[in-house]
Chain A
Amino acid sequence: KQEVTQIPAALSVPEGENLVLNCSFTDSAIYNLQWFRQDPGKGLTSLLLIQSSQREQTSGRLNASLDKSSGRSTLYIAASQPGDSATYLCARVSGTYKYIFGTGTRLKVLA
C-alpha cells in the first residue's frame, strides 16, 4: 500500500531555475511532514520539518509547505544549483513514531 507519493520521480533542470517537488499522502491524520535530501549511496540529511500545526518552513533557498486538508506538501527550491542534485524524500510522521517515506524525486541540476 503506497501511502506517500512523490511526483515527479525524476527531474532535470538547468541551473538557476526555481522548481517545485510534490509529496502527497493518503492519511490526513498526519503529525509532522519532513523533507530529506539523500546523495547517492549516503544517508539522509534533514532539510525541513513541518509540524502539523504549521503551514510552512523556510531554510535558505528552500521552502516547504504543508496542506493537511488536501494531503499535500511541496518543496520549493529557488535558484537551483548543480550542488542541489540529489534525491529528495518526504516522510509522513503519524502518531509518535514511524516515518512513512515516499519513493523520492531524483533531481539533476545541469550547469
Chain B
Amino acid sequence: DTGVSQDPRHKITKRGQNVTFRCDPISEHNRLYWYRQTLGQGPEFLTYFQNEAQLEKSRLLSDRFSAERPKGSFSTLEIQRTEQGDSAMYLCASSLPAAGGNEQFFGPGTRLTVL
C-alpha cells in the first residue's frame, strides 16, 4: 500500500445525474477527509471521518452531498442531481492521530466536470 487512492480519476457527467467517488486511505489510517478544489483556489474542507463516524461536515456540503465510511476503511462521496457548480477536483486525505498533529496524506483526486 503506497498511498491514498481515488477512483475514478476523471468523471464527466450531465447536469442532474448522480455521481459517486471512492477513496481508499492508507492502511490503518483511522481518519479520512474530503476536500473540494475549484479552479484557482486552494482545497476547501468538506467532511471528516474518524473510523466510521462522520464527525464534521462543512456548510459547503449541501443536502445533495453525502459521504459514508461504512466499515471505517474506504469512503464514498455521492453527489445527487449534479449542478455545473459542482465541477471541481475532489481530494481525499487520510491520517493517523499523532501527538504532533495528524499529518494528512492526499490522494490524486477525482476531477468532476458537469456539462
Do the two chains bind? yes
Contacts known (A42-B108, A42-B109, A97-B56); A52 close to B101, Cβ less than 8 A: yes
Q: Is B62 an interface residue (CB 8 A)?
A: no
Q: Which of A31, A43, A53 contacts B106 (CB 8 A)?
A: A43
Q: Which of B12-20, B42-50, B66-74, B80-88 contacts A (4 or more CB under 8 A)?
A: B42-50
Question: Interface size (B, Cβ < 8 Å)?
Answer: 28
* Residues of A with C-beta under 8 A to B44: 101
Count of A interface residues, CB-CB < 8 Å: 26
Closest CB of chain B to A69's CB: distance in Å? 19
Q: For the complex, give the distance between the alpha carbons of A2 and B95 in Å.
A: 25
B42 touching A41 by the CB < 8 A rule? no
Of A4, A43, A49, A96, which one neighbours B97 at CB under 8 angstroms? A96
The one of B33, B42, B89, B107 in contact with A97, judged by C-beta atoms closer than 8 angstroms, is B33
B30-68, CB under 8 A of A: which get 1 and which 0?
A: 010101000011111100100000011000000000000
**Residues in B lying within 8 Å of A, measured CB to CB:** 31, 33, 35, 40-45, 48, 55-56, 89, 91, 93, 95, 97, 100-109, 111
| Chain A interfacial positions (CB closer than 8 Å to B) | 4, 31-32, 34, 36, 41-44, 46, 49, 51-53, 89, 91, 93, 96-104
- Pairs A–B under 8 Å by Cβ, sample size 16: A32-B101, A42-B108, A43-B91, A43-B106, A43-B107, A46-B106, A89-B43, A91-B42, A93-B104, A97-B31, A97-B55, A98-B45, A99-B33, A99-B35, A99-B45, A103-B42
